[in-house]
Chains A and B, each alone.
Chain A
Amino acid sequence: MRVTIPSPLRSYTRGLSEVAASGATFADLLLDLERQFPGIRFRMIDEQNRIRRHIRFFVERELVTDLAQALRPSDEIQIICALSGG
């Protein structure tokens, strides 16, 4: 599935704003991203598996609140950095 990458994370994706990744759940998708782009997951997800404060995930434009959410191969994924200020 297609995953949109925000600018703060493009240093991990070699500058790509969109990448392909797969997973049966959102948690699986994040693991696939980490496999492809080492280090990217920890900057979005803390060590307690919580989504970091200024990170938002959307599946088909719906906000993800549970990383166990199931995904379909056709889903369009957006990773967005929310306003952080300063």
Chain B
Amino acid sequence: MKKMSRSPARKKSKATRPKAGRKTKAAAARRGFGTKHVMLMVGTRKGAFIYHGDASRSRWRLDGPHRLGEIVNHVVLDPRDGTTMLMAARAGHLGPTIFRSSDMGRTWKEATQPPAFRKAENGANARAVEYTFWLSAGHRNERGVWYAGTCPPAMFRSEDGGATWRGIDGYNDHPMWPKWNPPNAGTPDGLVLSSVNVDPRDARHIYMVTSDGGLFETYDAGESWRSLNKGVEANFLPDPYPEYGQDVHCLALHPAMPDRLYQQNHCGIYRLDRPSETWTRIGNNMPKEIGDIGFGIVVHPRDPDTAWVFPMDGTTVWPRTSPDGKPALYRTADAGATWSRQDRGLPRENAWFTVKRQAFCADDFDPVGIYFGTTSGELWMSPNEGRSFNLVAAHLPHIYSVVAATIE
């Protein structure tokens, strides 16, 4: 295991900033951290933690905690400007909000109008946002545009870098919304909307998923939506292959081949190559003793045939821990036809953690770095596409999300 370097918890470290001036670059170099490095944004049950790696990704420095004590579901850096960060947070006692930073996390300001439903008339359909679960930056040509997914499932859009948010009425007020999101259904933390994927070729073409509705797409920036679930199982419903009602845990559009989609579903691993509308269950090619249940799925940033999953136990009462207490990633290099186990450096036995859907990601280095955070507060990484793993940090709170960004 690599030893991590960690600054005192309550002392804010001077993080390397992107697009730094010469002095900052020189200072970063003196500290042993090159100007090009990976930044990991870790959202936890008790705040956000930011880790800066060196150029070799073998040493890591903590910046944080940020907003200690707040429940942080997602922290995301805007890839379009490299400095703006959004944080989806709430506290045990307080309602949900979005915190914004325009200086790489040095300071945070609250959104002036966080995601919220419209005031209901006569108390009917009086929905309130419990928490924001997901954040996605918009299309690269739409600077300042962000999307948020919430619990209960709703989608919000900001056009000013996350300061103010408006509901996407085409989904939130769709006549089918109550059927797509039935009451008393969903996960222990409630139904959520997540995995907002914007087509890099068309800002108006967007995919997203929900816990009890499946996958949806829009071609008009959210005014109208259609389900896209053909071939995807929902074995918890009377009709196991319904038009909608699936539980998509994670969707990944391949950035180099946007017509290729992967999803880790409650009921397996699937791939779809558009214009086809029928998903293929590539999880059938996983080892039977491991199965194809999990939360997250990560794609290689350049190779559309390569993806990683982190299987969990979906048998009996659904422990959602690694099968047999032996954590491992499974990697495909042929679009799901075959899978190989990757567990070098990970605990060999009695590791009973869970890796949540936002807590599993990759960087864009060569070779690609793979990262995951656990519900038991460990942050793991592989600098070599999964061939071996190192522990970056331990003893963190329950990890909800890990997002990697390359800082240059």
Chain A residues contacting B118 (CB-CB under 8 Å) are: 47
B97 CB–A CB distance under 8 Å: yes
Contact A43 B95 (CB under 8 A): yes
B331 contacts chain A at the CB level, 8 A cutoff: no
Size range of the chain A interface in the assembly: 20 to 34
Whether the Cβ atoms of A48 and B120 lie closer than 8 Å is yes
Q: Which of B89-107 contact A (CB under 8 A)?
A: 91-95, 97
**Contact across chains for A52 and B97 when beta carbons are under 8 A apart:** no
- Do the beta carbons of A44 and B117 come within 8 Å of each other? no
How distant is A66 from chain B, measured CB to nearest CB, in Å? 14
The interface of chain A, by Cβ under 8 A from chain B, is: 6, 8-9, 38-39, 42-50, 52, 54-55, 81-82, 84-86
How long is the Cα–Cα vector from A37 to B407 in the complex, in angstroms?
35
| Residue from the set B91, B93, B97 with the largest chain A CB neighbour count within 10 Å | B93
Question: Can you give 8 A-B contacts (C-beta < 8 A)?
Answer: A9-B94, A38-B112, A43-B94, A46-B129, A47-B129, A55-B94, A81-B94, A84-B93
Of A39, A46, A55, A86, which one neighbours B128 at CB under 8 angstroms?
A: A46
Q: Smallest Cβ distance from B117 to chain A, in angstroms?
A: 5
Q: Is B93 touching A54 in the complex (CB atoms < 8 A)?
A: yes
Cα separation A86 to B90 with both chains bound (whole Å): 13
| Contact indicator B112/A55 (Cβ below 8 Å) | no
In the bound assembly, the distance between CA atoms of A8 and B127 in angstroms comes to: 24
Q: A38-B112, A39-B110, A49-B119 are in contact. Are A44 and B95 (CB under 8 A)?
A: yes
Q: Are B110 and A47 in contact (CB under 8 A)?
A: no
Question: Contact at A81–B93, with CB atoms within 8 Å?
Answer: yes
Task: List the A residue with the shortest CB-CB distance to B69.
Answer: A8
Q: A86 touching B119 by the CB < 8 A rule?
A: no
A16 CA / B112 CA spacing, docked (Å): 21
Knowing A39-B110, A46-B128 are in contact, say whether A86-B117 is a contact too (CB < 8 A).
no
Chain B contacts for A84, CB-based, 8 A: 92-93
B107 to chain A, nearest CB (A): 13
B93 touches A47 (CB 8 A): no
Residues of B within 8 A of A82 (CB): 93
Partner of A54, one of B92, B97, B126, B128: B92
Measured in the bound complex, the distance between the Cα atoms of B120 and A46 in whole Å is 12
Task: Decide yes or no: A86 and B94 within 8 Å by CB, A39-B110, A42-B116, A47-B119 being known contacts.
Answer: no
Is B296 positioned at the interface, with any CB of A under 8 Å from its CB?
no
On whether A46 and B95 interact (CB within 8 A), knowing A38-B112, A39-B110, the answer reads yes
Report whether B119 and A48 are in contact in the complex, using a CB–CB cutoff of 8 Å: yes
Q: Which 8 A-B pairs have the closest CB atoms?
A: A84-B92, A81-B93, A46-B128, A47-B116, A43-B94, A54-B93, A48-B126, A43-B95
